[in-house]
Chains A and B, each alone.
Chain A
Amino acid sequence: MAAFLIRRLLQSLLVLLAMSVLVFAGVHAIGNPVDVLIGPDASQAERAQIIASFGLDQPLWRQYLLFLKNALQGDVGRSFVFSAPALGLILERLPATLELALAAILIAIATGIPLGLWAGLRPSGIAAKAIMAASILGVSLPTFWVGLMMIMVFAVQLGWLPASGRGPTTLLFGVPVSFLTLEGLQHLLLPALNLALANVALVIRLTRAGTQEALLQEYVKFARAKGLSNGRIIGVHVLKNILIPIVTVLALQFGAIIAFSIVTETVFAWPGMGKLIIDSIRVLDRPVIVAYMLLVVVMFVMINLVTDLVYSVLDPRVRFAGAGGQA
């Protein structure tokens, strides 16, 4: 176990290192942020001075080594635009994104599982066919289009919900959250639904497949033979067994949801990390872009690690191979 953990952490460090090289080189290839940011009346001398003060006149490898040195001391750079530490800027917006992602996951679970169960139990019914057709739409419609349509219908035409932004926030354990007020919830609903959409479809399909498979299993037949009620069979025995893959997939999806929230956050002007990274790319705010990418890599690595560990707890058949390997 310890060997496994150490190996995984080392691997993660290598991934981080490779990622930082790629991002650094990629952003460098795009252009120079000073060209975008500099005042129109600045002279060449001022321009040269600014470039030098940000170290952008140095060869790329030297800039990278300096970045590495600072990063090892916990400093991944200061935003050119905001004049604030890049990591701090991202962490400042993390709660908004996390809140959105969690809400989306909850919506996916709360709507996807019942609908999927229904479709799995009565696969030939009209409702089941409608649910499956809708789930295909859910995975294939582009997020930004659905988002704009939601705004047009629910905000502009019907006027039920606000079109954009995050509502008032209240502090919960020192973290600003918006789901504690009605207005905040109203702001949260449309973007969370938008972000949840593809995942609702995913959960529906997983649940349906799992249900149909489970219904054929011996333990269901045995439960029926014992005379258990239909509700208990489905609600306890079937559901319990099909939840394992769904929870696994959703855990993995969580990272993807945070990463994909860029689109939703842009459409709904939700002040999260996604909107920050888009705005930063627009003006080539290099430290923020690099810090964001690295943070996302760390997040994915952590999620995968935790998932693997949870696996071993859930299923004793999963064993961690030592350094020697095992068939």
Chain B
Amino acid sequence: MQIKKTAFAAIVAVLALSAGLVATAPAQAADLRIGLAADVSSLDPHYLNIAPNIALASHLFDTLVAVSPDGQLIPGLASSWRAVDATTWEFKLRSGVKFHDGSDVTAEDVLFSLDRPAKLVNSPGPFTSYTRQIVGKRAVDRATIRLQTAAPYGPLPLDLSSIFIVSKKAAQQASSEDFNSGKALVGSGPFKFVRFQRGDRIELARNERYWGDRPAWDKVTFRIISSSAPRLAALLAGDVDAIESVPTADIARLKNNPKVHLEQKVSWRTIFWLLDQSARISPFVTDKSGKPLSKNPLQDIRVRQAISKAINREAMASRTMEGLALPASNIVAPGIFGHNPELKVEKYDPEGAKKLLAQAGYPDGFALTLHGPNNRYINDDLIVQTMAQFLNRIGIQAKVETLPLSVYFGKARNGEFSASLLGWGSLAGDFALRTLLGTPNPETGWGSWNWGKYSNRTVDGLVQEALASVDDARREAAAKKAAAIALGDYALVPLHHQYATWAMRKGLRYTARTDEFTFAHQFQPQ
């Protein structure tokens, strides 16, 4: 009897051990299925500059400069880079990197890839914004390239984090169709192309020769599930292992679901109000009876400050955003280059706001229509409604009008609104300032999203100084100073930085990214 028991115990132990061994040994085929929120429209990495395409291209291709999950620049195909002089940048290529077809990644491929965006015609969102600063390029040797800019330009490495390096041999004669069929899809990224079924799925396989960390997955399938409820259902039903942009209303419940694991991170996207500061009579500011005012009250800094003080950002973050937001004092999120920690979140002060309005000559307030998109940012239409409540409390009679993005952006760009909601993600403060608050100028391309027509020579000068510094410390100092001045002017009214959320089955982890991208190689089995 005793012997029998011992034997039984031994068998159990062996079984348990072997089970443990099986579990710890590398699984025979590790597959990962990810539900994506937006359609990947083209596999040509230089055709259309939109987030879903960039996210997918990042699996197949490398960039000279990569971006860490926290939004910092890290070595990619270039192992190092430096400014040789004010207008010359030198990039050292990582040695021994191979394309998927087995050929070496050479300086020639890099130069070809930097040229390609400008050669593509008919792209509605070209990548040329990241290459236009380069006026000269040459390969010093097989592993060194030098890039020349017309004027001193500090953000060049940042720009190059958006240009994917393709194989010259494969892409030289290729059209975008050749990329979509996979024929020309030869990169050096962590995954190889397997299959693309437009609007439905994309399949990738691990690149065994990848120079960086080996991805945990043999095969990755991306499924396009653009509506949020079905995407979540696909996760809960086990059709996919992970999904991006989880519907906010379900997050609280998912946190208590034992089968699901969530990863969250403050995103680079800042949500803010752009207020019309032009000298004209603003189209949606009237007195309370609806008659136009003789001048634009939003031009008065006291009015803009009053609007900022009227916002209870804590309440907005915890209630309207259901905890998925971090109150903002800056244009770029914490940790992003150029974030100025000395700027404090504006305190909620409705009484102070009323006083400021009275001082500005509007003791009884005025009427204002708030405009915003209703399908772009997390809870965007609720944000606009909450804002209207805050403004009503200080005597500004606020109306709300939200529009689908496709209509909203065009109208806002035409200056048809007085107060408009915008969200912006940028990896550098000076970039964001140039685009959002630089004095609009078609020649220089500044202020292309400056809907409020804010203009300040000092800010422009500092942003220019930042962009022209090839020394990072000097550049960041100038960017921070410019941000402090612009935000002191209430050039825009920041609300919050939104959180990005991923949901996955238990047993998976994801290194959440501040740029909101979903990268299969950053998923790990626990």
> A residues within 8 Å of B by Cβ?
30-48, 50, 53-54, 78, 80-84, 89, 92-93, 148, 151-152, 155-156, 159, 162-166, 266-269, 271, 275-276, 278-279, 281-284
Interface contact B126-A162, CB-CB below 8 Å? no
Q: Tell me the complex Cα distance, A291–B239, Å.
A: 33
Given contacts A45-B445, A156-B236, A165-B223, contact A84 B177 (CB under 8 A): yes
Q: Give which listed residue, A44, A163, A276, contacts B199 with CB less than 8 A.
A: A276
Q: How would residues 444 to 458 of chain B score, 1 for a CB under 8 Å from any chain A CB and 0 otherwise?
A: 110011000000000
Is there an interface contact between B406 and A269, defined as CB atoms closer than 8 Å?
Answer: no
From A35, A41, A83, A152, contact of B122 by CB (8 A)? A83
> Are A269 and B424 neighbours in the complex by a CB distance under 8 Å?
no
CA distance A251 to B383 in the complex (A): 47
Residues in chain A near residue B197, CB distance under 8 A: 271
Complex CA distance for A150 and B236, rounded to whole angstroms = 13
Contact B126–A42 (Cβ < 8 Å): yes
Sort chain B's interface into a size bin: 35 or more
Contact B47 A42 (CB under 8 A): no
Inter-subunit contact A35/B409 (CB<8 Å): yes
How far is it, in angstroms, between the C-alpha of A236 and the C-alpha of B24 when the chains are bound?
66
With a cutoff of 8 Å between Cβ atoms, the chain A residues found around residue B473 in the complex are: none
Given A93-B199, A155-B233, 14 extra CB contacts under 8 A: A33-B124, A37-B50, A40-B426, A42-B126, A42-B128, A43-B129, A50-B124, A53-B122, A83-B122, A163-B236, A165-B200, A165-B223, A266-B227, A271-B199
Contacts of B409 in A (CB 8 A): 31, 35-36
> How far, in angstroms, from A263 to B449 measured CA to CA in the complex?
35
29 A-B pairs in the complex with CB atoms less than 8 angstroms apart: A31-B407, A35-B406, A37-B50, A37-B125, A38-B49, A38-B125, A40-B449, A41-B129, A42-B126, A43-B129, A43-B442, A44-B448, A80-B124, A83-B42, A83-B48, A84-B177, A148-B229, A148-B230, A151-B230, A155-B234, A155-B236, A163-B230, A164-B230, A164-B233, A269-B227, A269-B234, A271-B199, A271-B224, A279-B199
Q: Are A156 and B237 CB-contacts (below 8 A) given A30-B407, A35-B410, A41-B129?
A: yes
Residues 320-378 of B contacting A (Cβ, < 8 Å):
375
CB closest chain-B residue, reference A273:
B199
Pair A84/B180 contact, Cβ less than 8 Å: yes
A152, closest chain B residue (CB):
B233
Q: Could you tell me which B residues sit within 8 Å of A by CB distance?
A: 39, 41-42, 44, 47-50, 121-130, 176-177, 180, 197-201, 223-227, 229-231, 233-234, 236-239, 375, 404-407, 409-411, 413, 424-426, 431, 435, 440, 442-445, 448-449
Contacting residues, chain A, for B440 (C-beta < 8 A): 44
Q: Is the CB of A39 within 8 A of B49?
A: yes
- List the A side residues contacting B410 at CB < 8 Å: 31-32, 35
Which of B124, B227, B229 sits near A37, CB closer than 8 Å?
Answer: B124
Complex: A34 Cα to B125 Cα, angstroms: 8
A41, A84, A279: the one within 8 Å of B431 (CB): A41
Cβ–Cβ contact A267 & B230, under 8 A: yes
B126 pairs with A39, CB closer than 8 A: yes
CA distance A80 to B50 in the complex (A): 13
**A37-B124, A267-B230, A269-B224 as given contacts; A42 in contact with B239, CB under 8 Å:** no
Give min CB distance, B467 to chain A, whole Å: 12
**Contact partners of A279 in chain B: CB under 8 A:** 39, 199, 226
In the docked arrangement, what's the CA distance between A26 and B484, Å?
Answer: 44
B200 CB, nearest partner CB in chain A, Å: 4
A45 to B128, CA, bound (A): 11
CB distance from B475 to the nearest CB of A (A): 17
Q: Are B239 and A165 in contact (CB under 8 A)?
A: yes
Q: How far is the CB of B199 from chain A (nearest CB, A)?
A: 4
Chain B residues lying within 8 Å of A43, measured Cβ to Cβ, are: 129, 442, 444-445, 448
Pairwise interchain contact A164-B225, C-beta atoms closer than 8 A: yes
Whether B225 pairs with A37 at a CB distance below 8 angstroms is no
Q: For the complex, give the distance between the alpha carbons of A281 and B406 in Å.
A: 8
